Structure 1
Amino acid sequence: MLHKTKNMLIAGLSAIIIFSTQVQAVTPSPQMIEQFKQLPKSEQERIAKQYGVDPSMLSASSATTTVSNPQVVKPRSKVNNVLDQSEDEALTQQTKTAAKVDAIDNKKEQQLKPFGYDLFAGSPTTFAPVSDVPVPSEYMVGPGDTINVQLYGKENNNYQLMVGRDGAVQFPDLGPISLVGLSFAEARSLLQDKIAQSMIGINANITMGELRSIRIFVAGDAYQPGSYTVSSLSTITQALFISGGINQIGSLRNIQLKRQGKTVGSLDLYDLLMRGDASGDIRLQSGDVVFIPSTGGTVSVMGEVRRPAIYELKNNETMADIIKMASGLNPGAFPKASVVERFSDKAVKTVINVDLTAQNGLNQAVKNGDVLNVKSASNRIDNAITIAGAVIRPGKYQWTKQIKVADLLPSIWGNLTISADLDYALLVREINQRGDIEVHRIALGKAITEPFSEFNLTLKPRDTVLVFDYDDRKQLLNPIIKQLKKQSRFGEAAKLVSINGNVRFPGQYPLTANGNVKELLIAAGGLEEGSYTMSAELTRQIVSQTDGVSIEHKQLNLNEIMTNPSADARLQSKDILTVRMLPDWQDTRWVKIKGEVKFPGTYSIQRGETLKDVIARAGGYTEDAALKSAVFLRQSVKDKERLELAKLSDELRRDIAAKALTNDSPTVGYADAQLMLKELENIQVAGRLVVDLNALSLGIDEANLDLESEDALYIPPKNQTVSVMGQVQHPSTHRYKEGVTFDQYLELSGGSRKRADDDRIYIIKADGSVAMPNESTWFTSSSLMEPGDTIIVPLDTEYKDSLTLWQQVTSIIYNSAIAAAAVATL
């Protein structure tokens, strides 16, 4: 019988395909495809090949398709509700005035957002049903559902049976089978029994295929209420999602499912969000209404809770329930001093203190509009010791009874930095509840190396140990000095002392407990080199309520104080210790001698030593020394020249500005003015001082001079040239010839230019002095020149609009250049 049916199917399908190809190309109908799928694979390939049919077209519906969820919602516009903690943190650093506290609390309350609404942070983009969920056994089969039947064993066949409107499926060879009122598990069992009874030797695998769609309604305070087509497996939460969720006034705790005008269930989303309980998420049926009423009462929870938010009230919750909703308290909470702001019957806001550590406080009922503020605990650490400064591991450490400095810092090499001051450290101790401090000095090196000595102090809770860097103290001292000044009250002098003079770190220091002069010297880093230890001055203010303030000066012997503890002097607030320097003490001074001396080099000098003395120490001059051309440089002269150059630059700018505003004379060109200023800025002053070594070598005392630190003497070899610079045709250097005159050297350089100022020609002598030919009584145009001289022909100032400062500029330029050139040759 089955074989006969198979042959009939093949013949019928072949006839249909042949007829279709003769007339026109047609798309196979679903019936053709279903018949083709029932044929064996070899027959499918033969028919497709014989009649030119694409097998993929006939088997396309049998291809495996990937089921994917469509994007049902798109994100809503989000509002940044992150609490700004900067102002709250600022309150911990300053006085918490009532206005500031209220402002911060109000801002936090305004930034609270309702809990749970972020779950639906989207709006619907498509109403396509979700179809990739497994079908439960209790699913009620209904019209429109598809049941997939796979037969295997004696014969292999696949059927897709659709449930008709009468609730029955048409099973080939078995006829209609009614599935009315059956669940999927019951329908599967019924079909398997029918197949087993009618088809011997054939087994069946039955699964659910495509499910029917149902139409539901979402009403009330939904984000987008309306009618939606959903899968028959959809639940209340899925209906909420496809409608975009709940708007800001909708209730999350009383979502109702209405069926045929009656409420058949309700959903509290807090059960799902907070406890993962989805037992109230009922499956929907066609025609159901998901109704979202407006929210009931609300309570705002802020402060030290894990999840500050606005929560919806239901069923008379208590404070304990609200704390659970907020996911509990933070570790830094102080629930004993919690506060509830509540509107009274007279519409006035009141404040109620609630102890959330007590049972009566936890059991207190919450009312609509309440604002619960859980306060924070103190940030102050009660049982800790702080170590700061030049240590390897700064921070807070636990205090234990009888703990000492060496217990926290047991090793110099292992706990301290290389630059830590082992003689001066401070122990800062709080002495009362308001944070006043007293300061103790620690000899840290002795405390570590001699743990049983008096230097190893016993610590108390909240002590701070400050270890100073030997090269820097201010950073750690400033907060202590500020606190000591701040805690000075009722006319008391701040516990501060000062030291100045010849010490390493002069300045103001805390007055330590039982502080003395020796401790102050150690605090200042000790004495500088050259200190006068026989007498230091201690200045003290004597305050009298009747006579006012008087000043007392006391002389102290620092040698005795440093060696004999009994000679030390106890310090008082506002004492000032002044350490003097030895009379005539000076730092090492150095001068440099280069060039034509027997032993050139750098020499150390003392106060009062002269140029003649150092030249003698250098072995005197060589035979080739040009004493007339010596260059002597001094730092103080260089500083003065730099100052004068700055003044000249300012005068030049003012003169240029004045010329620019004068109508009766031509103005200076901008390019010329900038050139002069640029020349001045680029001048490197030498600091040359004219010395007469020839006179000095003859024993004339007036030519000698006392030396200063950083003086330098350069003695060049004999110079056999004469230079001509400035406004000449060919500025050049000529070999010195005995008997050649001033005019002749000018002629060798081509003579003066048109713009030359012949009346202001001058000569820079080899020793740096300046001679003016038109001013000297002994100097004439026929006078002879000397080796190393330089003739300077300046620019005529008339060509610069009578700007006479130009001559000064050129003079400085030439003089500096000549001195630099003389030094550079050595």
Structure 2
Amino acid sequence: MLTTDKLSRFTRCIKPFYIGLVLLALTSTHQVFAQAPRQRVDQLSDEDVMNFYKRGQSSGLTEAQIEQAAMSQGYTLDDIAKMRKRINDLRTRQTIPQSQTQTSGYRGRTLPDDISRRIDSLPTTEGRRDTTKKLKVFGASLFENANLSFEPNLRIATPRSYIVGPDDEIRVDIAGASTGDFDLKVTPDGTVKVPNLPPIFVAGLTVEQAEQRIITRLRQGGYQGLGQPGSGTTANVTLTNIRSIRVTLVGEVVHPGTYTISSLGTAFNALYLAGGPNPETGSFRKINIIRGNRVIRTIDLYDFILRADQRDNIRLQDQDVIRVADYETRVELTGEVRRPAIFEMLPGETLKNLLSYAGGFGDDAYRASITLRRNTSRERRIVTITEDQLANFMPQRGDKYFVGKILERYENRVQIAGAVMRPGDYALEPGLETVKQLVERAEGLRKDAFTNRATILRERADMDRENLSFDLGKLLRGEISDITLQRQDSLTVLSIRDLREEYYVIVEGAVNKPDTIPFVNNLSVADLIAQAGGFQEGAKPSLIEVSRRIRQDSSGIRPTVLDIYRFAIDRNLQISPLDSSSRNSAGFQLQPFDIVYVRTSANYEAQRQVNVSGEVMQPGNYAIFSREERISDIIKRAGGLKPEAYLAGARILRKGEVIGNDLRNVLTDPGAEENLLLQDGDTLVIARRSEIVSIQGGVLNPSAVSFKSDYKFGDYISEAGGYTDNARKSKAYVIYPNGRKDRTHKFLFFTSRPEVEPGSTVVVPFKPLDNNKLTPAERIGIFSLLATVSIALINVLVR
């Protein structure tokens, strides 16, 4: 009798199909089966098939009874598979809800749920910057990379050499004249169960061997000719879900122990889970895979790191043991190599192999020799290894090799710089051995070359430098002998520009772009003004001055320090002289350091304006009409004052600062001193009469109160609550709305307080803080000291 735990997934899914077949076999009233007890499924109509399907859903028979009844009526596994296919097709066409059916289909491979995870996988240290300066063991970073876990790829074709074991799931697809599919799970005793067939033992077989055994049993169970040529029926056996296996890692690994991996897992996958070999003690080149107490493979991780060779990354089997041995020989290689590190060496490997592990020499490496520091039984010793010894020199445990850097020197370099066509470094070689040959190799001198003198900077034997000067022009003409060059010589050919100041001319004044311009020959005044963007609108072309330095030496002291030339230039830049010293104006050329001045017309002036705001008839901006225009004039131009204007509170601001001024008399008396001349940017504010007086500073309640014509200074102080204890009463003052100020006056015992007008601000200053005042404790201390001193003096006098 079949038990539930041994039914395959296929058997559970086709339960309704079996029920329909049994009803088909047992229903004597059905006309079709009354005629032929072994009538084939393909002879049934779609209506009959659907009726059988619906009856099967309501049947209460067990699966064992369904199988027994179907087989007793002569139905084979082929008939059962055809019936299932017919029902599937009808259900698809009639859109039967999926929840009412159970079908078997391929589910993508998934990892078993009990797979081990790496201990330090969360959080990962990937991406952190290593700030330690300790030399790394080559290969240790391989298993520290979280992005390189070596997990098996489940989306691959079924490996034909895969060994089947318990918990594996095998799918059998039958196509052709007969169809069907079975999902078979390998039981703990190593068998799979196909319905109506004895268990098939597949554990320990490869997938290919298991396929042949299953097909043979299916052929015996009703699939005639299955898998045989010409039968028209084929079978495909694939591995669906895979089992897990347990492997043990011992020896010098970071986290030794037993790990659960998938049956497709490899040796590198298991090593990654255990953290890889211990960088301090473990070997990266002697990792044994032990199966059945026998070493079946020895892994050398250098093959994978350096050549991506995965031949040793074999698939593991259950109960495999991976043992990481202790390293035997490790050496250090530092200096000018591509991968400085600590490397593990195997017997028979040479220093040349070590260099290949390090990526070879660096670009600046000194290859002639390598320095070795080797441990002896008592101390260390230095060994120099030449390039010829690399292939045969055998490293030993604890060796430290250092590859130096080549010197910043050239064995055959000479240099040429300055006024030549191609300055730079050149090789000292046959055909380039003298100064003349070096100049020719540099494609000759530039036109600005100063040939009267050239210099060679030469390195002596003691590394000091010396300077050799000579006439380059005579040398090139053959008037003096050529000079033989030596290694590291540097020839410098000066330019005539190197021996003088940088030439320039200056143009300033009423031009659009005043500037300092590099001097060029044959430059006229008109050319310079054109380069400066031409004249400004207010320029006076009829007066151009040029100041020139006195360059000629004389025996005496001249009364003048400059030469001045004056010209007249029209808007078309046509020049004419203004005095006898500048008569040759047409041919006048500028010289280095000349300064050209373009004057501004005396009557030309840009508009200047003032702003009038407040209680005037026409507030706004006004241009200053004349140099004599005053405040009263601008008020008249603004249409005069409005009736509510308060002239006593009018303010004039110049450059943002309030000018204290009383403008009450300016309209009636234009000659009053308060009637100031206007300047560009002035602002005149005519305010309304303010009915407020503000009291600030050393009063008990600083506030603003209404103006009262019968109030005096003291009355407003009383309105603010009176003076504070630290108020400076004698320094109180009033700020009037027009910006003027008036302070308190004191004479003998008489105090005169300023008047308060509407809009004024009364200010009472505070007394300054006395930070040097003694505290009570300090006073007591001083008195005690004085008393003690006094008593001492009395005692001295009495004696």
Q: Compute the TM-score of the two structures, normalised by the length of structure 2.
A: 0.50
Structure exhibiting the larger radius of gyration computed from Cα positions: 2
TM-score, length of structure 1 as denominator length: 0.48
Task: Answer 1 or 2: which has greater helix percent.
Answer: 1
